[in-house]
A and B are shown apart, each in its own frame.
Chain A
């Protein structure tokens, strides 16, 4: 404690008192008011230091903000160009489908192939589908009042009422099991190779982040699917989720359209050597 007391009581530099004591009491104090170049230089240095530090701090803050703005701009530009590319991909795919259909229509063998292709495309998620659908709607639990300071971030109690990737996986599997022919989560068509996982707080489907609430749409015989889903494991799983405050609703739609999966790509096929490719 004596250190702190000492610090509090002797805050004035002892040099001043000593200098005053050194001065003979009879002599008039040195008149520093008139012209002291030393004092001028000292205060000049103080002012220079203060303003330089201020300018420096200001510079640093503005350069950080600039870098952030530039990054945001770049993200937006890349997103736009991504969208453009995706659009042109979609157009070219439609062209390919069109010319393929025209080519296959010429022979009876081709017609059979086209029919088989259409079935396969629905199953693999390569083409959009329309039809009656079962819709499972999931919402995160509303934030409870006691989340905050007393929640230990390490145990993750705050995430109690949130839909997790496991929940989505289970429910999607149950929708498939109840007879769906095509399934999409928040508009993301699922294929046999789709992954539902989480990264941090976000749930990713095919590496695209979803935001709550979650809509799982299964196209198929809607009323039969609904009955089968509710009676099966899916129904009891939803009941269990309700205990955590997660809200859900089941509904059937007369007609729903699921877009094709954007993740379908050629894995083994390639352009034959010697064939002219045009771009």
Chain B
């Protein structure tokens, strides 16, 4: 229960407070969102598998976001930012898809 509460409070706070994102951080926001979604889907699947662990979830979320942002930052510095962004999105996208498929199989038995 407390988990859902945290998610809802976070979303509401973000919508109402509208925190201003510094301009240098803005390019990494979409990548961070994809990374966060990957962590969330992974956590949900683990929950359904019965092996959910809050510490693993939080650490994987933070690490995912940071590593994804770091890769894109590195790419920007090297001049291959858009290609590396594509790479990150492809890898995380595949993971999100297969995790979502596993969740679907478990929930609907199909």
Contacts and interface: CB of A to CB of B under 8 A. Distances in A.
A binds B: yes
Interface of A: 4, 7-9, 11-13, 15-17, 19-20, 29-30, 32-36, 38-56
Given A11-B42, A11-B45, A16-B51, 18 more contacts: A7-B95, A9-B98, A12-B102, A20-B51, A33-B1, A39-B57, A42-B54, A43-B3, A44-B6, A44-B7, A45-B61, A46-B40, A47-B10, A52-B14, A53-B29, A53-B32, A55-B14, A55-B15
Given A16-B52, A47-B6, A48-B10, A39 B102 contact: no
B60 A47 contact: no
B56 A52 contact: no
B14 A48 contact: yes
Given A40-B2, A46-B7, A16 B49 contact: yes
6 contacts: A20-B51, A32-B53, A45-B10, A47-B8, A49-B33, A50-B11
Interface string B1-21: 111111111111111001101
Interface residues of B, number: 50
Contacts of A54: 14-15
A55 B51 contact: no
Contacts of B95: 7, 11
B9 A44 contact: yes
Nearest to B60: A13
Contacts of A42: 6, 54, 57-58, 61-62
